[in-house]
Amino acid sequence: ILNVEQSPQSLHVQEGDSTNFTCSFPSSNFYALHWYRWETAKSPEALFVMTLNGDEKKKGRISATLNTKEGYSYLYIKGSQPEDSATYLCAFSLYNFNKFYFGSGTKLNVKP
Amino acid sequence: DVKVTQSSRYLVKRTGEKVFLECVQDMDHENMFWYRQDPGLGLRLIYFSYDVKMKEKGDIPEGYSVSREKKERFSLILESASTNQTSMYLCASSGRSGRPQHFGDGTRLSIL
C-alpha cells in the first residue's frame, strides 16, 4: 500500500481568508495526481488532474501546483467562501495502473 | 455528464446476512471500483474491475466479494455481514488509465 498524506486534517477559516493544504505522495513511478472536493451528502467531484512536474491548474478561486520530484502538491483557495466548505481529497496513481491511492483528506470549514 | 448510481443511500442489515450493494454507470467505462470510507482513514479500495468478469483485490478485500457480469454494473457482496463492516461505501468508474474516477453518492451501511 502506498502512503499518501494530507495535511492538515482539518481547517477552520473565516470567509475571505485564503488557505492552502498539502498532499504528499511517493515520487517514484509517478503517473498522475488528482484533487477531489467532497461536500457532505454529495459524491466526490474531480477538481484537477496533474501529470507533469511544475503543473499548475486553476478553476475559479481554486488552484493547485505539483512537484513530482519531491512528491507534493498544494491546493490553494483564494478568498474562501462558505460554499467551499468540504473535504478535499488527493489521490495518486502509478504509471499504467487504474488504482488510485487516496489521502485521508483535509476537511475545510469556512465560517461566514 | 457521467452518472454513477448506487442502489441505496442508506441500508440497515443484521449480522450474518448476505448483503448486496449495486452500482451502475452510464458512460461505458472499463474500470469500476468499490471503496469504503471510515473517519480518519480516507478512501480504502476493496475491489476493482477493469473488464467484464475481471476483478482485482484492492487493499481490504477480506469479507467481501464482487461480481461484474455486465460492463455497466459492478456489485459488492458482503458474504456474512459483520458489525465492523458498518461504513460508507462508494462506487466509482473511470475510462482509460489515469483519468479521473467518477463517484456515486455512496451507501451508508449499518450492520446491527
Q: How far is CA A17 from the centre of its chain?
A: 18
Check whether A1 has a pLDDT greater than 90: no
Tell me what pLDDT residue A29 has: 78
Pairing of strands A106-111, A10-14: parallel
- In chain A, the percentage of residues whose pLDDT exceeds 90 is 77
* pLDDT value, residue A105: 94
Contacts of B31 in chain A (CB under 8 A): 98
Query: Rounded mean pLDDT of A73-96?
Result: 92
Percentage of chain A exceeding pLDDT 70: 96
Phi-psi region of A31 (alpha: psi -120 to 50; beta: other; left: phi over 0): alpha
Is B60 at the interface with chain A, CB within 8 A?
no
Within 8 A of B33 by CB-CB distance, chain A residues are 100
Q: Which cell numbers in the block locate residue A108?
A: 475545510
Q: Residue A2's pLDDT is what? A: 76
Chain A positions touching B60 (Cβ under 8 A) are none
Cβ count within 10 A of residue A111 = 11
Q: What is the pLDDT of residues A23-71, one digit of tens each?
A: 999 887 788 899 999 998 889 999 999 999 999 999 999 999 999 999 9
Per-residue pLDDT of chain B (112 residues; tens, 9 = 90+): 669 999 999 999 999 999 999 999 999 999 999 999 998 788 999 999 999 999 999 999 999 999 999 999 999 999 999 999 999 999 999 987 678 899 999 999 999 9
Residues of B in contact with A1 (CB under 8 A): 59
pLDDT of residue B82: 97
| Subunit contact B101:A100, Cβ cutoff 8 A | yes
Question: What are the φ/ψ torsions at residue A37 (nearest 5 degrees)?
Answer: -115, 130
* pLDDT score at B56: 92
A10 touches chain B (CB under 8 A): no
Q: How do B107-111 and B10-13 pair as beta strands? A: parallel
Q: How far apart are CA B34 and CA B48, in angstroms?
A: 6
Q: Looking at the predicted structure, is the pLDDT value of residue A11 above 80?
A: yes
- Contact of A103 with chain B, judged by CB distance below 8 Å, is answered with yes
pLDDT at A28: 79
Nearest to A102 among B43, B100, B102 (CB): B43
Beta-carbon contacts of B102 under 8 Å, excluding residues fewer than 6 positions away, are A43, A46, B2, B4, B25, B27, B29, B92, B93, B94
Q: What mean pLDDT comes out for the span A76-88?
A: 96
- Whole-number Å distance between alpha carbons of B32 and B47: 9
Residue with cell 477559516: A13
Question: What amino acid is encoded at A6 in this protein?
Answer: Q
